[in-house]
Amino acid sequence: MSTSGNTMPGHAAPLRYDTASRTFHWVTVALVLATIALGLWIAHARPEEEAFKLTLYNIHESIGVTIWIITLARLAWRLGHPAPPLPAELPRAIRIAARANHSAFYLWLLTMPLVGFLATNAWGFPLRWFGLIPLPDPVGKNIPLAETLTAIHRLMAWTLGAMIVLHVFAALWHQAVRRDGTLRKML
Ligand code: HEM
Ligand code: HEM
């Protein structure tokens, strides 16, 4: 499968992800990077001004919920639109690593927003999505639970960061070292 430069519309295995899958991917990238930046800001730079801080929390949390919804839609789409095949000569261990990385992304993008959402509820701050739509408050104020969920959210944030670094290095490795057209499948 070193023929990834060929395009034969309507024939052969698909050489790229379809347009919707690529859009899902890059919209998610933009939203996840924005959410992480805001998360680090609120958790570590702790802005002084209360109203501003609450706005940052609200944007972080609202984008996070949006990522959750987009990921559900993306997975539903993915069921009917499989990924283009990996390069045939790719070693087995790398294939397994790639699949594990992608599955872990989906798992994180589905559970992190939930954990963050329940943490916010447990701190006693029900969320209004972008200040507009009030969301349910299933747990109510519960500080010990809030502390646990926040610790989990934080741990997941750092592992997500590590997964992103690995994923980006893998993409660049495919592009610069193996030159096997993997990056182009997502562009
Ligand atoms: C995929 C979606 C999300 C990502 C990638 C994400 C990422 C992060 C990151 C990187 C931090 C800083 C962690 C640290 O170093 O302390 C953080 C903190 C936080 N996140 Fe999220 N988050 C997401 C979704 C959500 C959602 C949906 C909510 C709530 C509705 C939420 C609530 C919080 C809160 C309250 C904090 C602050 C914790 C503190 O003050 O220490 N997050 N998030
Ligand atoms: C927040 C950051 C990112 C997340 C959460 C993410 C997530 C994902 C996921 C879940 C897949 C699997 C798609 C599927 O088959 O269902 C994927 C594939 C891919 N991503 Fe990312 N991605 C991120 C950033 C990037 C960046 C920055 C690049 C480029 C430098 C990139 C390049 C690719 C490529 C080339 C594939 C296709 C891999 C293959 O065909 O096996 N991603 N990404």
Chain position carrying tokens 């294939």 = 95
For ligand 1, whether the C-beta of 39 sits within 6 Å is yes
Asked which of 17-26, 87-96, 113-122, 139-148 is least confident by mean pLDDT, the reply is 87-96
Q: What is d(CA 72, CA 24) in angstroms, rounded to the nearest whole number?
A: 11
**Residue 5, pLDDT above cutoff 50:** no
CA 86, 87, 89, 91 torsion-angle sign:
negative
Q: What is d(CA 9, CA 12) in angstroms, rounded to the nearest whole number?
A: 8
Q: What is d(CA 49, CA 133) in angstroms, rounded to the nearest whole number?
A: 24
Q: Whose CA is nearest to atom 10 of ligand 2?
A: 102
Q: What domains lie within the chain, and their CATH numbers? A: 19-186 (1.20.950.20)
**Residue 158, pLDDT above cutoff 90:** yes
Atom number, ligand 2, closest to the C-alpha of residue 168 = 30
Q: Strands (DSSP E) along 18-86, which ranges? A: none
Q: What is d(CA 23, CA 6) in angstroms, rounded to the nearest whole number?
A: 22
Closest to 4 measured CA to CA, from 184, 186, 175: 184
pLDDT for position 15? 85
CA of 133 to the centre of ligand 2 (A): 31
**Residue 138, pLDDT above cutoff 90:** yes
